[in-house]
Chain A
Amino acid sequence: MLEAPSRKFNLSLLGLALLNMIPHLGIHAWVIFLVGIPMIVWRFAYEHQKVPLPSTLVKVLLISYSIFIVQQSYTGLSGVESATGLLISAISLKLLDSVRYRDAMVVLYTSFFVLMSSFLEQQNLAITLFAALDLILITALLFQLHKGKDMNFDLWTIIKIGGRLVAATLPLLIILFVIFPRFSGSLLNFNQKNVGSSGFSDKMEPGSIDQLVLSDEVAFRVEFEDFPPPQDQLYWRGSTFAINNGLEWKKLDTYEKIQTRNQDLKGDYVYEVILHEDYGKWIFALDYPSRIQLPSWRMNRHLRAAADKTYRFKEPIGQKTLYRGASDLIFTQSIEDLSVYLQMPESVPEEIQDLVRTWKNESEDVETYAKKIYQYYAKDFRYTLEPGSMGENSMATFLLEKKQGFCEHFATSFAYLMRAAGYPSRVVAGFQGGRKNKLSDYFIVSNRDAHAWAEVYNEAKGRWQRFDPTSVVAPLRLELGGAVYFTLSEEERDRATSVDEALKYYQNNFLVRYFDNFSLAIDFVQQEWNQFLLDYDYRRQKELLRKLGLDEVSKGRLFLYSVLVAILFFIVYRYRKLRSLRLKQSKAQQIYQKLQKHLAKKDIVKMAHEGPQTYLERAQKQLPDKAEIIEQFQLLYLHQEYGPEAENDQRLTRLQQAYKEIKS
């Protein structure tokens, strides 16, 4: 029915298709774009009459190839990632077809879903701003497609038109966002990402964390309900590793489903964490967590806990996650089989056995034995992110020859030495520290804070006890936090003898001096936005409605209210338009209208065909005693409305006075 879109429209559509790919770059397999982008380029060349469109056979081959690529990239065609890959390919393929009205509509509708699929991968301020721009463009193109050929396609016009339309939807969008009942369910059972891309895995081998600390990306942000623990107590527990094979450790898979709903969060510290989407199944909680609570029923269903006080998702969540946690300062009792924490590799080198034997003989308990190991580290061990390869007999090489490494080397070797002496021990991976944003009260924990430490079971105390051997070799790492510590050069780290001196070096850094406050401000906005986005669930919705005086509103009623609001929007929108028509009357017209009403009461009703001149002349005849002032009103009005001069405030005042005089 409508005309085929113009060339300019098609080019804009190509631009939109490319734009929609941006949030997915770096997340999806590059081959998806290697197929999609050339197709868009092909169409672009066609629009410039350089190449013909592909034949049906080529198109069929391209479709098959795209499906094959997606299938290979995501090992199947089900799941969110595969669906997104298919959507991106589908849009590119559709553009290789001759774009008619229907095709343009398909591309525009699909664009909404490509955008939404990017929210399943990331939720932050940047993607929100991108989404706003994307929605403006989609809406503008939808509008331009129906406006016909007399449309303008420069970017500013498109943004202006789209912006106006999007602004018109905002009131309803906001109201619906606030009151539409938040329900969660797993009606669609898409799989999320299978693995996180954080660098953490179920196996700890030296090299995984040192790569992680090279990245300064934010891992999670934490806000404590009351006061935070001291900096050196900020240990964020992620996973423990119990099965030992030298420097390589593996975790025990002992996670079980837990009941977390409707349980109060009680502990020494209660806090709220917003975890980055890259962490797959992992959950990080302050040592030692007693309870974790997720906002939705669906997410809580996937929460698993282990006896070692670590938490996991059953399946990777694949999106930014908000959860609350409660932690205690000491490890409270849990029932565990300790024998598994004594497992050692078959052969322990003789020299290590000698060291262990000597220390054990000189020690009374776990703590004094640990001190011996600390002293051994303190003597001639060095903290470095580039220790080099440890070879086949890795533990012996590290402990007896190289004597340099980073947190993983120290934590795993410490646990190893503990086990060699008969003390149950394990390695814990997670984060240590975090940087407080001085603009607010939350901590930013970045990948630079990634850390590993050891835990030993203290039989005398009847609980697990944390030991962090890194504190002996690189105390500044714990006192400053990873973000500050790794910003310093290796030379500065070695030179600094105190925290203050290290901080002085840090503050002299060019980027820190000029951009630190700025980046903290950006982070603050990001945190506020994340909190709002992730935290606005059914519970928060109820809180807000309670504040608005709408206590105890059921979901059904909320849905009903949403529908009513939508209808109200429709009515108000129409009313506003009608009102705006009335408001478009000039002030002189409004006064003239009032006069008409007054004269109508005296049976001088304005006829449809009468202009102000004839009507007021008739009024003069019918009201001879007011003839003079009506004539004055008539002259003033005609000058004000139709005279060559611009509107005149003085004249308007006189018009108002004349009206009052006629009325009196």
Chain B
Amino acid sequence: MMKDKKTYIIPNWYGLIFGVSILAAILLGATYSNNLVFAVAFFMLALFLLGMVQANANLKDLDIEKIHFSLAEENATGSGRIWLKNNSNEDHYQIMVKIPEIKEDFFFTVSHCEKKSSCIENFTFPSLEIGIKNIKQIKIASVFPFGMFYVWRNFSITSKQVTYPKAEGDLALPKNLELGESYISDFGLQGEDFSEHRKFLPGDNFRHVDWKAYAKGRPMLVKKFDDGETSNFILDLQHTSGDWMKRLRQLSKWVHECEAQKHAYSIRLGQEKQLSMGHGQLHKMQCLEQLAKLGEEYARSS
């Protein structure tokens, strides 16, 4: 995570109004030669400066460790998670995290981040258009503690947010549309016969890890089972109908159905583009990301 070391601070409208109020209070004190009014005016001035110092301190030594966006469905609400690290010796409050690439005015608030600790915040965001957004910058801002100063810092990041086509369509999942390459299910539900090991991939179910082998010092391996009656699906764009978006949404629906029914599947997006057969969260994400990419290209071209 790259961060801009600079912290920017400016008085906001409330700060400017407070500044003018201080001047008015000093004039009032002078007009009536009233030391108590002067005292309140100086208190306000001290509070103003304290507010500036504390506002600056509220973002001090605060880092973004990681940010993750879950795949979001078109016209639905997406979700994400951010990991912040507070390295300072003070608690931080009301940190606004702004991600303009999601939406210009999009932000969420991390209400409290304890000193010398990490804090994790789940957030939701409006997911509108199909596509892949490359998130390059995150801004953290704060007006804590008195709302008079707006302080912010910019972080350069590399992350992406994927919005895939909505899973909808009238067509039922075509049963064994095409028998493709031999694919052995990892789920172990179709058959009980152990076939072989393969390397653990992110998204694989931990229940299928061969823990005994792992305990003996071998790398994390996943057991494969074979009963010869696997259901393999090639979800082909050509087998859908309607306009382009409708067809992508149908594919999205099939992907979800295959995943729910624990089938192995692959998507074919034309003659040249076909993803390998697979299943699991990672595979699902890859498929939906492809659909998102295609949807974005289509939207751009039309």
Q: Is B45 an interface residue (CB 8 A)?
A: yes
Q: Is B76 an interface residue (CB 8 A)?
A: no
**Contact (A143, B47) CB under 8 Å given A148-B93, A150-B111, A319-B34:** no
Question: Which residues of A are found within 8 Å of B46, using beta-carbon distances?
Answer: 169-170, 172-173, 176, 569
Q: Is A115 an interface residue (CB 8 A)?
A: yes
By beta carbon, the residue of chain A nearest B25 is A116
Q: Are A298 and B31 in contact (CB under 8 A)?
A: yes
**Contact (A146, B53) CB under 8 Å given A119-B40, A169-B47, A173-B42:** no
Bound form: Cα–Cα A570–B27 in Å: 24
Q: Are B30 and A184 in contact (CB under 8 A)?
A: yes
Bound form: Cα–Cα A173–B44 in Å: 9
Bound form: Cα–Cα A183–B28 in Å: 11
Q: Are B40 and A536 in contact (CB under 8 A)?
A: no
Q: Tell me, rounded to whole Å, the shortest Cβ–Cβ distance linking A106 to chain B.
A: 9
Interface centre among A1, A115, A182 (most CB of B within 10 A): A1
Question: Which residues of A are found within 8 Å of B47, using beta-carbon distances?
Answer: 139, 165, 169
Would you give the 0/1 interface string for A113-131, flagging 1 where the beta carbon is closer than 8 Å to chain B? 1011001100100011001
Bound form: Cα–Cα A113–B23 in Å: 12
Question: Which residues of B are found within 8 Å of A298, using beta-carbon distances?
Answer: 31, 33
Q: Is B126 an interface residue (CB 8 A)?
A: no
Q: Is B269 an interface residue (CB 8 A)?
A: no
Q: How large is the interface on A (under 10, 10 to 19, 20 to 34, 35 or more residues)?
A: 35 or more
Q: Is B38 an interface residue (CB 8 A)?
A: yes
Q: Are A183 and B37 in contact (CB under 8 A)?
A: no
Q: Is B94 an interface residue (CB 8 A)?
A: yes
Would you give the 0/1 interface string for A170-184, flagging 1 where the beta carbon is closer than 8 Å to chain B? 101100110010111
Q: Tell me, rounded to whole Å, the shortest Cβ–Cβ distance linking A63 to chain B.
A: 21
Q: Are A186 and B147 in contact (CB under 8 A)?
A: no
Bound form: Cα–Cα A287–B15 in Å: 54
Question: Which residues of A are found within 8 Å of B25, using beta-carbon distances?
Answer: 112-113, 116
**Contact (A148, B111) CB under 8 Å given A1-B96, A577-B57:** yes
Q: Are B147 and A116 in contact (CB under 8 A)?
A: no
Would you give the 0/1 interface string for B26-61, flagging 1 where the beta carbon is closer than 8 Å to chain A? 011011111111111111111101101100010000
- Report the stretch among B138-146, B216-224, B281-289 that lies at the interface: B138-146
Bound form: Cα–Cα A91–B43 in Å: 22
Bound form: Cα–Cα A116–B41 in Å: 9
Q: Are B94 and A147 in contact (CB under 8 A)?
A: yes
Q: Are B147 and A172 in contact (CB under 8 A)?
A: no
Bound form: Cα–Cα A352–B39 in Å: 61
From A146, A183, A566, give the contact of B49 (CB < 8 A).
A566
Q: Are B147 and A105 in contact (CB under 8 A)?
A: yes
Q: Is B14 an interface residue (CB 8 A)?
A: yes
Bound form: Cα–Cα A598–B18 in Å: 52
Bound form: Cα–Cα A166–B44 in Å: 10
Question: Which residues of B are found within 8 Å of A566, using beta-carbon distances?
Answer: 45, 49
Q: Are A146 and B143 in contact (CB under 8 A)?
A: yes
Q: How large is the interface on B (under 10, 10 to 19, 20 to 34, 35 or more residues)?
A: 35 or more
Q: Tell me, rounded to whole Å, the shortest Cβ–Cβ distance linking A371 to chain B.
A: 48
Question: Which residues of B are found within 8 Å of A573, using beta-carbon distances?
Answer: 49-50, 53
Bound form: Cα–Cα A172–B52 in Å: 14
From A1, A135, A183, A319, give the contact of B43 (CB < 8 A).
A135
Q: Are A584 and B42 in contact (CB under 8 A)?
A: no
Q: Is A109 an interface residue (CB 8 A)?
A: yes
Bound form: Cα–Cα A145–B145 in Å: 8
Question: Which residues of A are found within 8 Å of B41, using beta-carbon distances?
Answer: 116
Q: Are B38 and A123 in contact (CB under 8 A)?
A: no
Q: Are B18 and A109 in contact (CB under 8 A)?
A: yes
Bound form: Cα–Cα A109–B15 in Å: 11
Q: Is B89 an interface residue (CB 8 A)?
A: yes
**Contact (A187, B93) CB under 8 Å given A127-B36, A128-B36, A570-B53:** no
Question: Which residues of A are found within 8 Å of B45, using beta-carbon distances?
Answer: 172, 176, 566
Q: Are B14 and A169 in contact (CB under 8 A)?
A: no
By beta carbon, the residue of chain B nearest A166 is B43
Q: Tell me, rounded to whole Å, the shortest Cβ–Cβ distance linking A151 to chain B.
A: 10
Bound form: Cα–Cα A483–B21 in Å: 44
Would you give the 0/1 interface string for A141-171, flagging 1 where the beta carbon is closer than 8 Å to chain B? 0110111111000000000000001101110
Question: Which residues of B are found within 8 Å of A188, using beta-carbon distances?
Answer: 27-28, 31
Question: Which residues of B are found within 8 Å of A343, using beta-carbon distances?
Answer: none
Question: Which residues of A are found within 8 Å of B89, using beta-carbon distances?
Answer: 580-581, 584
Q: Tell me, rounded to whole Å, the shortest Cβ–Cβ distance linking B222 to chain A.
A: 34
Q: Is B112 an interface residue (CB 8 A)?
A: yes
Q: Is B109 an interface residue (CB 8 A)?
A: yes
Q: Are B40 and A115 in contact (CB under 8 A)?
A: yes
Question: Which residues of A are found within 8 Å of B109, using beta-carbon distances?
Answer: 3, 148
Bound form: Cα–Cα A462–B52 in Å: 70
Q: Is B17 an interface residue (CB 8 A)?
A: yes
Bound form: Cα–Cα A533–B35 in Å: 6
Interface centre among A112, A148, A537, A581 (most CB of B within 10 A): A112
Bound form: Cα–Cα A168–B46 in Å: 9
Would you give the 0/1 interface string for A1-32, flagging 1 where the beta carbon is closer than 8 Å to chain B? 11100000000000000000000000000000
Q: Are A183 and B30 in contact (CB under 8 A)?
A: yes
Q: Are A113 and B21 in contact (CB under 8 A)?
A: yes
Bound form: Cα–Cα A127–B50 in Å: 25
Q: Tell me, rounded to whole Å, the shortest Cβ–Cβ distance linking A126 to chain B.
A: 12
By beta carbon, the residue of chain A nearest B93 is A147
Interface residues of A in 74-129 (CB under 8 A from B): 105, 109, 112-113, 115-116, 119-120, 123, 127-128
Q: Tell me, rounded to whole Å, the shortest Cβ–Cβ distance linking B295 to chain A.
A: 33
Q: Tell me, rounded to whole Å, the shortest Cβ–Cβ distance linking A476 to chain B.
A: 40
Interface residues of A in 44-81 (CB under 8 A from B): none
**Contact (A180, B96) CB under 8 Å given A146-B143, A570-B52:** no
Interface residues of B in 108-152 (CB under 8 A from A): 109, 111-112, 143-147
Bound form: Cα–Cα A165–B24 in Å: 23
Q: Is A387 an interface residue (CB 8 A)?
A: no
Q: Are B40 and A147 in contact (CB under 8 A)?
A: no
Q: Are B53 and A574 in contact (CB under 8 A)?
A: yes
Bound form: Cα–Cα A31–B21 in Å: 28
Q: Is A296 an interface residue (CB 8 A)?
A: yes
Question: Which residues of A are found within 8 Å of B94, using beta-carbon distances?
Answer: 2, 146-148
Bound form: Cα–Cα A534–B24 in Å: 20
Q: A112-B21, A123-B34, A180-B42 are in contact. List 4 more A-B contacts (CB 8 A).
A: A109-B17, A172-B45, A533-B35, A537-B33
Q: Which 5 A-B pairs have the closest CB atoms?
A: A169-B46, A119-B36, A172-B46, A176-B42, A296-B33
5 contacts between A and B (CB under 8 A): A123-B34, A143-B145, A148-B111, A180-B42, A183-B30
